[in-house]
Structure 1
Amino acid sequence: MPSSALAHPPRWLNAVQLHPAPAPLQRDWLFGQDSLTRRLTALSAGRFTVQPLVQGWQSLRQDECLALQVPSGSQGWVREVFLQGDGDNWVFARSVAARAALEGSGLDLGKLGSRSLGELLFSDRAFARGELQVCRYPAAWLPAEVRTEQLWGRRSCFRRDGLGVLVAEVFLPAFWERAAQA
């Protein structure tokens, strides 16, 4: 669903702009600079999996075009997955890259399958991660089976040369239950 269909698109905020601040556990996960894949793998004692949901060329949402600094309505590669721990959906992740920048970049997002994009981005030192931003992610943008209001989401843009890969991660209720137990 395009962001224009939302009455109130989300405001993505950095750690300084976010008031009131989330609880310490939430703040740690929302603004942690290390690989989310590695943290989820540790939290699940190695029982971490990636379940692909959607991937292919689509029109990017307005907020994604702004973040990637591409014209409104640009085409891009969209990949949506569940990051799972112990077989539970812990995080919904949506990664996008503008078609014009992706083609010829040498990065083939279509071949990731059930591998983690985050692991690829963190292992390639040519990618620089931009600032983490958070919002209460719109329920309308979530898959039906996890559609819930007011879930925390975060995003950052990984850049290499002219390529930007915007990665958004939405923490689902089952994740917070497990994180609180750890």
Structure 2
Amino acid sequence: MPQAYSTPGLLWRPLALWPRAIRPPLALQHWLTDPGSLTARLIKKSTGKFEVEIVRQFIGRASRNECEVLAIRMSDLVMIREVILKGNNQPWVFARSLLPLASLTGELRHLRKQRTRPLGAFLFSQSHLVRSPIAVAAIQRNHCYVPSTLAESELLWGRRSIFSLHGKHLLVSEVFLPDFVASLALEQA
């Protein structure tokens, strides 16, 4: 049975568990549930006009919920990487990745210095990548999960899952921003 996990003020659960009446538009649902590389899809959608802008990257502690999902202790340190994925010079996705320091060893140690390279490009180039089921959240504009300058006044939809490489886990969440949702609406028109 799929599980639902909460972050203070957020409920992450499979899209199928969201009531149909409050689900996002169908075009966005396809993006939320696609198990493939979001980076590759964004590059294609932007016809190559894609870039990663770092919001912040630091060593810190995950929230209680993030610790539960990653199966780590509250005292464990993680590298927190927050970026904006831009297409056609517009902010399309806010991405937050948590990489436990214990996972950033061996083949994964270079992820400490990912800079503006998209994390997804690296992850999906790995033949032994394992991904957990995708959980989806509806994020109110005043919730602190997304910087307020990006949220505008709309309800935002995000997704997250755990990626595992060689038994090392990373939690990646991606929140689709208003400019991206507007671009989907234009495609449907």
**Which of 160, 177, 186 is residue 181 of structure 1 equivalent to?**
186
Deviation at 1:105, TM superposition (A): 5.2
Q: Distance in 2 between matches of 1:111 and 1:7?
A: 27
The question of whether the paired residues in 1 share the 8 Å contact of 2:28 and 2:184 is answered with: no
- Which runs of no fewer than 5 residues in structure 1 stay unpaired? 1-5
**Which of 158, 167, 180 is residue 163 of structure 2 equivalent to?**
158
- Which residue of the partner structure matches residue 3 of structure 1? none
- Which residue of the partner structure matches residue 171 of structure 1? 176
Which 10-residue stretch deviates more, 97-106 or 54-63?
A: 97-106
- Which runs of no fewer than 5 residues in structure 2 stay unpaired? 1-5
The 3 A distance-change label for structure 1 pair 175 and 79 is same
Deviation at 1:141, TM superposition (A): 1.6
**Which of 142, 147, 156 is residue 143 of structure 1 equivalent to?**
147
- Which residue of the partner structure matches residue 102 of structure 1? 104
Note the aligned Cα RMSD (angstroms).
2.0
When the two structures are aligned, how many residues end up with a matched partner? 177
Moved over 6 A (4+): none
- Which residue of the partner structure matches residue 123 of structure 1? 125
The 3 A distance-change label for structure 1 pair 25 and 126 is same
The question of whether the paired residues in 2 share the 8 Å contact of 1:84 and 1:90 is answered with: yes
TM-score, normalization by structure 2? 0.86
- Which residue of the partner structure matches residue 15 of structure 1? 15
The question of whether the paired residues in 1 share the 8 Å contact of 2:61 and 2:74 is answered with: no
Deviation at 1:180, TM superposition (A): 2.0
Deviation at 1:73, TM superposition (A): 4.1
The 3 A distance-change label for structure 1 pair 8 and 52 is closer
Deviation at 1:129, TM superposition (A): 1.0
Percent of aligned pairs sharing the same letter = 34
The question of whether the paired residues in 1 share the 8 Å contact of 2:151 and 2:177 is answered with: no
